[in-house]
Amino acid sequence: ASADDWTKRSVYQVVTDRFALGNGSSPSCDTSQKKYCGGNWQGIINHLDYIQDMGFDAIWISPVVENVQGTTTEGEAYHGYWPQNINSLNTNFGSADDLKSLSSALHDKGMHLMVDVVVNHVVANPTNTSSVWPETFDYSLLQPFGAANSFHTQCFISDYNNQTDVEQCWLGDSGLPLLDLDTENSTVVDTMYSWIKNLVSDYDIDGLRVDTAKHIRQDFWPDFASNAGVYTVAEILIGNVTYAAPYTKGLDSVLDYPTYYAVYNAFTNGTSGNMSTIAEMVNQAQDQYNHGTFYVGSFVENQDNPRIQSTVSDQAIVKNMMTWPFINDGIPILYYGQEQGYQGGNDPANREALWLSGFNTENKPLVTHVKTLNAARKQAISANSSFLTTKASFISQSSSTSTLAISKPPFLTLLTNVGSGSSSSASWSIPSSAGLYSGKETLVDVLTCDTVTTEDDGSLSVSASGGLPKVLMPAEALSKSGSLCGSQ
């Protein structure tokens, strides 16, 4: 599917090993052990309703290819990011038929499949820790590469300010080296181009999350993308828009890391968090990225970063942060378990087993929150035919650094980092000069179904209640029959 198709969707990110077992069992799963816990593709198939009922219409799954086997110094390859044979599948997750079944089960439900792909490196356990590169590895396991000359000369990345280092030295360390493929070598390059073409077509994949994209030269990517022929979103792990921007030319877009850091810092430092940096980052990205921020993947949690609730417990703050990906320009991505209030910290603690929640959605306020946000975004898309192509804009809240007002019609979203404490308060004011509304217009906060009315001149003043976010939509933009405050 194309990038434009993906903009209408919202994505649920699954760590395949940690989502569900195909046989329905619920074994214990100690994340600190860094071992396979048993999740597989059949397990995902069995729980697609859980995902779809929250309003998601796409999933992103872990890398699917065969990984290094056994235990490494960093545990087992349960996350899938240590490829060994790119022409075989990871049998811990199932068979080729299982992956095809997952793809077709998704398509039968009108959902898309995004697969995570690793092109930068492969992994083999060192055969002899006292030997030195290139003798250290059994290259015959590393298929289809098979020899030391498919790899860059060993050196570990030491200087992230030196782009040649970042591209041609290795991730990992001497304990667990990630063998860096020589992506300047035309045989390696052609192998990867035909591999991605076949992978996409064999499993009818709709989109790709491209791992470690900043670790390969930029001009590798355009031909990779055209061989893939589907939406590609690159992982460029960086807090800097200017660094990330060029990758939005070769690939469709990037995971929106710069804004992620701005959001995380704005909301997890009490009221000293600076909300205006979010606006600055988005404005930079809108200016510098190809296609602006329309094709970015927007998230507040993932497998590499601590969960929100490992840092903040105030549910008002959590709900503000979770609202962000759904109301700005990008494609919303929710990391599995966030809806269940999971609290794991840094890798590996943030990779908890979802089955331990029992897939229970009753009395789960964050499940309700996500459901409402997905429904609101769908309603916004249908109420305003230019919603997906209108840039989000920020309405200056000069009296406070603790509030943010974002307009993306029909949404006016009001966020705050004051939290739920009784002593804290926040309010937003939208001047008539913003030109958003006419006089005496009724707006509905779709998170509560409460209404507010604009002044005669179209201006608006709103106070927060309990530090909660507000997602306001004109009453007339809500469908009378829809489930979203439909009776307004």
**Among 7, 40, 46, 120, contact with Ca ion (rule: CB under 5 A):** 120
**Among 66, 76, 180, 256, contact with Ca ion (rule: CB under 5 A):** 180
The window from 35-43, 232-240, 358-366, 383-391 that contacts ligand ABC (CB under 6 A) reads: 232-240
- Whose Cβ is closer to ligand ABC: residue 212's or residue 379's? 212
Secondary element (H or E) of residue 428:
strand 427-430
Does 295 sit near ligand ABC (CB under 6 A)? no
**Catalytic residue (one of 57, 211, 252, 301):** 211
476 is catalytic: no
Nearest to 255 by CA among 57, 11, 54, 51: 11
The window from 45-53, 66-74, 180-188, 440-448 that contacts Ca ion (CB under 5 A) reads: 180-188
Does 106 sit near ligand ABC (CB under 6 A)? no
**Among 57, 98, 180, 235, contact with ligand ABC (rule: CB under 6 A):** 235
Tell me if residue 202 falls in helix, strand or coil.
Answer: helix
191 to 220, contacts with ligand ABC by CB under 6 A? 211-212, 214
235 is catalytic: yes
144 CB-near residues (< 8 Å, 6+ apart): 85, 86, 87, 191
Does 160 sit near ligand ABC (CB under 6 A)? yes
Backbone dihedral region for residue 163 (phi beyond 0: left; psi -120 to 50: alpha; all else: beta)? alpha
Does 347 sit near ligand ABC (CB under 6 A)? yes
Question: Residues binding Ca ion: what is the number (CB under 5 A)?
Answer: 4
Nearest to 282 by CA among 236, 325, 312, 320: 325
184 to 223, contacts with Ca ion by CB under 5 A? 215
Q: Are 381 and 58 in contact (CB under 8 A)?
A: no
What is the Cα–Cα distance from 110 to 116, expressed in whole angstroms?
20
Question: Residues binding ligand ABC: what is the number (CB under 6 A)?
Answer: 20
Strand 11-14's sheet: what is its strand order? Answer: 253-254, 231-234, 207-210, 112-117, 58-61, 11-14, 331-335, 297-298
At its nearest, how many Å lie between ligand ABC and the CB of residue 346? 7
Strands (E), 82-237: 83-89, 112-117, 121-122, 171-172, 177-180, 207-210, 231-234
Nearest to 320 by CA among 474, 449, 470: 470
405 to 464, contacts with ligand ABC by CB under 6 A? none
What is the Cα–Cα distance from 224 to 228, expressed in whole angstroms?
6
Q: Side-chain half-sphere of 53: how many Cα atoms within 13 Å?
A: 11
180 binds, among Ca ion, ligand ABC, none (CB under 5 to 8 A by kind): Ca ion
- Whose Cβ is closer to ligand ABC: residue 55's or residue 63's? 63
The residues of the shown chain that bind ligand ABC, judged by CB under 6 A, are 74, 79, 81, 118, 160, 172, 176, 211-212, 214, 235, 237-240, 261, 303-304, 347-348
The residues of the shown chain that bind Ca ion, judged by CB under 5 A, are 120, 167, 180, 215
Active-site positions read: 211, 235
